[in-house]
Structure 1
Amino acid sequence: MLNVNLRNWSLLPCLSLVLLFGCADDRGAASEDASGSGTETAGDGDGDQDTQTTGDGDGDGDGDGDGDPGDGDGDGDGDGDGDGDPEFAVGFDVRNVDPSQAQLGSVYLGGFGAPFVGGPATGIHDSVFARSMAVGIGDEGVIFTVVDAIGMGNQWTRAIRSQAANLTGLAEDRIIIATTHSHSGPDFQGLWGGVGDSYRSKVTIETVGSMLAAWETRQPAELSVSNSTAANRNRRDWPMTDDTVFVLQAHRKSDAALLGTMMSFAAHPVIIGSDNTELSRDYCGYAVDTLEASTGAPVVFFNGILGDVSPDVPEGMYADDFARAEAYGSYVAAQAELMLADAVPVEPILVHDHAQWELPVDNALFNLAGQLGILDYDFIQNGLASSVITQSTYVRLGTQAQIVAFPGESLTRCGLPIKDAMAAPYKAVLGNAGDALGYFVPSDEWMTGLNDDYEEGVSLGETVGDTSRDAIIEMIEADLGW
Structure 2
Amino acid sequence: MRFFSVTLAILFLGIGNYWLCPALLAENLHFSIGSAEITPDVQAPQAVWMAGYYPGRAATSVHDPLFARGMLLSDGQTKIALVSLDLIGWSYPSTIAIREQLPEIDFVVICSTHNHEGPDTIGIWGESFIKRGVDEQYNQHVEKTIVHLVKRLDQSQQPVTVEFATIDRPDLVHDTRQPIVIDPTIRVLRFRSQMDGSTLGLLVQGTTHPESLGARNTAITADFPCYTQKRLKQHFDCPTVYVSGAIGGLMTPPAAGIVNDKGWPVRLTTFAYAEAYGNEVADAVAEALEKGQPVDLTPFRILRKEIAIPIDNPLYRLARSLNVIRRVSYEWTGQPESWGKRVTREFRPDRAAAITEVSLLQLGDVKLLGIPGELYPELVFGKIPNPADANVDFPEAPPEPHITRFIGDEPYLLLGLANDEIGYIIPKRQWDREAPYAFGRGAPQYGEINSCSHEVGPIIMDTFAELCQRAQSPTGEP
Where does residue 421 of structure 1 map in the other structure? 406
Alpha-carbon distance between aligned partners in 2 of 1:189 and 1:409, rounded to the nearest angstrom = 15
SS of the counterpart of 1:378? Answer: coil
The match for 1:342 among 263, 288, 291 is 291
Deviates more, 1:353-362 or 1:411-420: 411-420
Where does residue 76 of structure 2 map in the other structure? 138
Pairwise CA distance, 1:96: 1.0
Pairwise CA distance, 1:254: 1.7
SS of the counterpart of 1:453? Answer: coil
Runs of 4+ in 1 over 6 A off after TM superposition: none
Larger Rg: 2
Pairwise CA distance, 1:228: 1.1
Alpha-carbon distance between aligned partners in 1 of 2:42 and 2:218, rounded to the nearest angstrom = 15
Question: Within the alignment, does 1:372 sit opposite 2:310 as a pair?
Answer: no
Where does residue 324 of structure 1 map in the other structure? 273
Where does residue 170 of structure 1 map in the other structure? 105
Q: Deviations over 1:367-422 (max 9, x none)?
A: 222222211433222434310111022112222x2111100011111233224321
Which TM-score applies when normalising by structure 2? 0.77
Q: Deviations over 1:115-153 (max 9, x none)?
A: xx22x3111111100000111111412111110011123
Pairwise CA distance, 1:349: 2.5
Question: Within the alignment, does 1:233 sit opposite 2:225 as a pair?
Answer: no
Which TM-score applies when normalising by structure 1? 0.77
SS of the counterpart of 1:175? Answer: strand
Where does residue 402 of structure 1 map in the other structure? 367
Q: Deviations over 1:284-332 (max 9, x none)?
A: 2211111122111110000000001111253443366111111111101
What pairs with 1:198-237 in structure 2 (closer than 5 Å)?
A: 198-230=137-169, 231-237=172-178
What pairs with 1:257-406 in structure 2 (closer than 5 Å)?
A: 257-308=198-249, 309-312=251-254, 314-316=257-259, 317-318=265-266, 321-347=270-296, 348-380=298-330, 381=343, 382-399=348-365, 401-406=366-371
Question: Within the alignment, does 1:434 sit opposite 2:372 as a pair?
Answer: no
Alpha-carbon distance between aligned partners in 1 of 2:374 and 2:414, rounded to the nearest angstrom = 10
Alpha-carbon distance between aligned partners in 1 of 2:49 and 2:95, rounded to the nearest angstrom = 19
Residue 303 to residue 93, structure 1, CA distance change in 2 (3 Å): same
CA RMSD of aligned residues (A): 2.1
Aligned residue type for 1:311: P
Kindly indicate whether the alpha-carbon contact (under 8 Å) linking 1:143 and 1:176 is maintained by their aligned counterparts in 2.
yes
Question: Within the alignment, does 1:253 sit opposite 2:194 as a pair?
Answer: yes
Question: Within the alignment, does 1:95 sit opposite 2:95 as a pair?
Answer: no
Alpha-carbon distance between aligned partners in 2 of 1:475 and 1:266, rounded to the nearest angstrom = 23
Alpha-carbon distance between aligned partners in 1 of 2:357 and 2:26, rounded to the nearest angstrom = 33
Kindly indicate whether the alpha-carbon contact (under 8 Å) linking 1:269 and 1:283 is maintained by their aligned counterparts in 2.
yes
Where does residue 70 of structure 1 map in the other structure? none
Residue 209 to residue 424, structure 1, CA distance change in 2 (3 Å): farther
Kindly indicate whether the alpha-carbon contact (under 8 Å) linking 1:94 and 1:130 is maintained by their aligned counterparts in 2.
yes
Where does residue 187 of structure 1 map in the other structure? 120
Aligned residue type for 2:205: S
Residue 286 to residue 212, structure 1, CA distance change in 2 (3 Å): same
Residue 420 to residue 334, structure 1, CA distance change in 2 (3 Å): farther
Residue 463 to residue 361, structure 1, CA distance change in 2 (3 Å): same
SS of the counterpart of 1:236? Answer: coil
SS of the counterpart of 1:454? Answer: coil
Aligned residue type for 2:351: A
Residue 438 to residue 341, structure 1, CA distance change in 2 (3 Å): same
Deviates more, 1:323-332 or 1:213-222: 213-222
Pairwise CA distance, 1:103: 4.2
Alpha-carbon distance between aligned partners in 2 of 1:88 and 1:418, rounded to the nearest angstrom = 27
Alpha-carbon distance between aligned partners in 1 of 2:375 and 2:26, rounded to the nearest angstrom = 39
Aligned residue type for 1:314: G
Alpha-carbon distance between aligned partners in 2 of 1:424 and 1:135, rounded to the nearest angstrom = 24
Mark the runs of 5 or more structure 1 residues left unpaired by the alignment. Answer: 1-83
What pairs with 1:442-453 in structure 2 (closer than 5 Å)?
A: 442-447=427-432, 449=438, 452-453=444-445
Aligned residue type for 2:277: Y
Kindly indicate whether the alpha-carbon contact (under 8 Å) linking 1:104 and 1:121 is maintained by their aligned counterparts in 2.
no
Where does residue 243 of structure 1 map in the other structure? 184
What pairs with 1:3-152 in structure 2 (closer than 5 Å)?
A: 86-100=27-41, 102-103=43-44, 105-114=46-55, 117-118=56-57, 120-152=58-90
Residue 398 to residue 423, structure 1, CA distance change in 2 (3 Å): farther
Mark the runs of 5 or more structure 2 residues left unpaired by the alignment. Answer: 1-24, 127-132, 260-264, 331-342, 382-401
Pairwise CA distance, 1:424: 4.7
Pairwise CA distance, 1:198: 3.2
Kindly indicate whether the alpha-carbon contact (under 8 Å) linking 1:314 and 1:327 is maintained by their aligned counterparts in 2.
no
Where does residue 29 of structure 1 map in the other structure? none
Where does residue 387 of structure 2 map in the other structure? none
SS of the counterpart of 2:47? Answer: coil
Structure with more contact order per residue of length (Cα contacts < 8 Å, sep ≥ 6): 1
Residue 367 to residue 100, structure 1, CA distance change in 2 (3 Å): closer
Aligned residues: 390
Pairwise CA distance, 1:197: 3.4
Where does residue 156 of structure 1 map in the other structure? 94
Pairwise CA distance, 1:155: 3.6
Alpha-carbon distance between aligned partners in 2 of 1:479 and 1:153, rounded to the nearest angstrom = 26
Pairwise CA distance, 1:240: 2.9
Where does residue 396 of structure 2 map in the other structure? none
Alpha-carbon distance between aligned partners in 2 of 1:376 and 1:153, rounded to the nearest angstrom = 10
Kindly indicate whether the alpha-carbon contact (under 8 Å) linking 1:252 and 1:259 is maintained by their aligned counterparts in 2.
yes
Kindly indicate whether the alpha-carbon contact (under 8 Å) linking 1:182 and 1:268 is maintained by their aligned counterparts in 2.
yes
Alpha-carbon distance between aligned partners in 2 of 1:379 and 1:476, rounded to the nearest angstrom = 28
Where does residue 477 of structure 1 map in the other structure? 469
Alpha-carbon distance between aligned partners in 2 of 1:397 and 1:198, rounded to the nearest angstrom = 35
